C-alpha cells in the first residue's frame, strides 16, 4: 500500500449564522483525498478527510509542509506490520522538524490528513472505522449507536423567537431529543427569553444545552450561571476563553450543573492543562476536543490515554464538529456521544443518509471506512477530488 497522490480543495461552508464570537459568512473547509495504489474488490482505495467548521481551510499549510513530507517519505516507512498505512507513523513524518507548542492551524492541516489516512486504512482492511477502532484499541467492545444532539440556535439577521422555536421543533421532528442553542450574543434578559422559548418546545432543561463560544469574562459567566442554574440545563458550554483555566476553576466552584468545553484546545498538552488546572468535575462535565481540528485521531488517542490516567472516562467526551469521523470514534471507543448539525455547515454537517436519528441516537453504516460514500451531498463534493 502506497500513497500515490494527495489532492486538496477549499470548499466554502459559509452561512449567514453567527455565534457570540464570530460570523460564518467567510468560513471555509479543506477537503483532501489521499489516493493509494491499493485496489480492493477492483476499486482503488482513496481516503478522504475535511476539517470541521470554526477553523478555516488549510490549503497553504497542507502544501507548504504536511503533504510534502508525506509524499517525500519512503513509502515503507509509513506502513504497519501488515503492510497497511500506519497513521501513527504518518503522524511522526508529518510532524518532523515541528517545534513543540503553538497548537493551532497546523493541528487542522494534520487533522484533515489524519482523517483521510484512517479512512484509507479502514477501507484497505474492509471494515468500518468504528469496528477497526474497537478491535485495535477497545478490546473489541463498541456501542451500537451514538447519542447525538442537534447543535443550532444560532443568531442570524431577522431571526426572532418564533424562528428559533420552529428550528427546535424541526430538530425534534428529525428524531433528536436534545438540542443546543447559542447564547452570549445578546443581553442576558434577551437570552433568557430565548432559552425560555426553547424550553417550552423541548420540555425540560436536560434536553437543552447553551453555548457561549468563549465570549464571557468571569464576572459575566458567573452572572449568567446564576441566572440559568435553576433551569437544570444539559450543559453550559464554553462560558469562558478556552485557555483561561483558572477562570473555569473559579466558575466550577459556583456553578453546580455540567460545564462543557474543549473544542478550541487542539493538542493533548492543552487538553491536559484543562484537566489539571481547569477545576472540571469528572462526574459531570463534558470534554469536546475535536479530532479533526486537533492533529487527528493519532493525537486523540493520546488525549484519551491522558484522560484515563487522570481518572476521566471516555464517556465524558462528546466531540465538537458533527462529523462522521468523530461519530466512528464515539461508537468504536465508547465515548459519550457526538455533536450534530442538522441544518448548517452543509454538506459537512450530518451523518449517513440511511441512518436516521431515532430517540436522539444514531447508528453507523457497515460501509468500509468512515462512511462518506453513504452521505450523498458530501460524497458529491469528495468524489470530484480524487
Q: Closer to a copy of itself at the Cβ: 95 or 202?
A: 95
In terms of CB distance, is 58 or 303 closer to a copy of itself? 58
Active site residue 320: yes
Instruction: Give the residue, chosen from 103, 142, 248, 323, that forms a contact with a copy of itself under the rule CB under 8 A.
Output: 103
Query: Binding a copy of itself by CB under 8 A: which of 33, 34, 61, 110?
Result: 61
Q: Considering only 82-90, 101-109, 116-124, 171-179, which stretch makes contact with a copy of itself by CB under 8 A?
A: 101-109
Residue 74 sits in the site that holds a copy of itself (CB under 8 A): no
Span 3-42, contacts to a copy of itself by CB under 8 A: 21-24, 26-27
Contact segment (CB under 8 A) with a copy of itself among 51-59, 124-132, 312-320, 375-383 equals 51-59
65 interacts with a copy of itself by CB under 8 A:
yes
Please say whether the beta carbons of 228 and 199 come within 8 A. Answer: no
Tell me whether residue 349 or residue 365 sits nearer to a copy of itself (CB atom). Answer: 349
**Are 362 and 145 spatial neighbours (Cβ–Cβ below 8 Å)?**
yes
Active site residue 182: yes
CA distance 360 to 336: 13
For residues 165 and 194, the answer to whether their CB atoms sit within 8 Å is no
Pattern 273-312, binding to a copy of itself, x per CB under 8 A? x--xx---------------x-------------------
Q: How far is the CB of 44 from a copy of itself (least distance, A)?
A: 29
How long is the chain? 386
- If one asks whether residue 206 binds a copy of itself (CB under 8 A), the answer comes out as no
Q: Residue 51 interacts with a copy of itself (CB under 8 A)?
A: no
Find the shortest distance in angstroms from Cβ 28 to a copy of itself.
Answer: 8
198 and 168 in contact (C-beta within 8 Å)?
yes
Applying CB under 8 A, which of residues 42, 81, 97, 187 lies at the interface with a copy of itself? Answer: 97
Stretch that binds a copy of itself, among 1-9, 40-48, 62-70, 115-123 (CB under 8 A): 62-70
Selection from 192, 203, 172, 190 nearest residue 342 by Cα:
172
Looking at the annotation, which residues are catalytic?
182, 320
Binding site for a copy of itself (CB under 8 A): 21-24, 26-27, 54-61, 63-65, 96-107, 213-214, 241-246, 264-267, 269-270, 272-273, 276-277, 293
Amino acid at each position: 500500500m502506497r500513497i500515490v497522490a494527495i489532492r486538496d480543495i477549499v470548499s466554502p461552508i459559509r452561512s449567514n449564522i453567527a455565534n457570540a464570537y464570530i460570523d460564518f459568512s467567510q468560513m471555509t473547509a479543506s477537503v483532501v483525498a489521499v489516493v493509494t495504489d491499493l485496489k480492493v474488490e477492483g476499486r482503488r482505495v482513496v481516503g478522504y478527510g475535511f476539517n470541521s467548521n470554526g477553523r478555516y481551510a488549510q490549503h497553504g499549510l497542507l502544501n507548504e509542509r504536511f503533504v510534502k513530507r508525506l509524499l517525500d517519505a519512503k513509502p515503507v516507512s509509513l506502513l504497519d506490520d501488515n503492510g497497511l498505512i500506519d497513521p501513527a507513523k504518518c503522524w511522526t513524518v508529518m510532524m518532523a522538524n515541528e517545534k513543540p507548542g503553538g497548537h493551532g492551524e497546523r493541528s487542522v492541516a494534520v487533522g484533515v490528513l489524519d482523517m483521510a489516512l484512517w479512512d484509507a486504512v479502514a477501507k484497505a482492511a474492509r471494515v468500518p472505522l468504528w469496528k477497526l477502532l474497537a478491535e485495535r484499541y477497545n478490546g473489541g467492545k463498541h456501542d451500537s449507536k451514538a447519542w447525538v444532539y442537534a447543535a443550532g440556535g444560532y443568531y442570524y439577521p431577522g431571526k426572532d423567537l418564533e424562528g428559533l422555536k420552529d428550528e427546535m421543533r424541526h430538530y425534534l421532528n428529525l428524531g433528536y431529543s436534545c438540542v443546543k442553542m447559542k447564547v452570549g450574543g445578546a443581553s442576558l434578559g434577551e437570552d433568557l427569553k430565548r432559552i425560555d422559548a426553547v424550553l417550552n418546545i423541548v420540555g425540560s432543561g436536560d434536553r437543552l444545552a447553551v453555548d457561549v463560544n468563549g465570549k464571557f469574562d468571569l464576572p459575566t459567566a458567573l452572572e449568567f450561571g446564576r441566572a440559568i442554574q435553576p433551569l437544570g440545563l444539559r450543559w453550559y458550554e464554553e462560558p469562558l476563553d478556552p485557555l483561561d483555566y483558572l477562570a473555569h476553576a473559579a466558575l466550577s466552584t459556583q456553578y453546580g450543573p455540567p460545564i462543557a468545553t474543549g473544542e478550541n484546545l487542539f493538542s493533548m498538552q492543552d487538553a491536559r492543562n484543562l484537566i489539571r488546572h481547569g477545576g472540571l468535575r469528572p462526574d459531570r462535565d463534558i470534554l469536546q476536543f475535536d479530532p479533526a481540528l486537533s492533529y487527528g485521531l493519532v493525537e486523540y488517542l493520546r488525549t484519551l490515554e491522558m484522560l484515563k490516567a487522570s481518572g476521566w472516562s471516555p464517556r465524558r467526551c462528546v466531540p465538537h464538529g458533527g462529523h462522521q469521523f468523530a461519530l466512528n470514534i464515539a461508537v468504536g471507543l465508547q465515548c459519550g456521544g457526538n455533536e450534530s448539525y442538522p441544518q448548517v455547515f452543509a454538506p459537512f454537517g450530518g451523518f449517513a443518509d440511511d441512518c436516521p436519528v431515532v430517540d436522539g441516537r444514531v447508528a453507523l453504516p457497515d460501509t468500509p471506512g468512515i462512511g462518506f460514500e453513504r452521505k450523498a451531498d458530501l460524497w458529491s463534493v469528495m468524489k470530484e477530488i480524487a
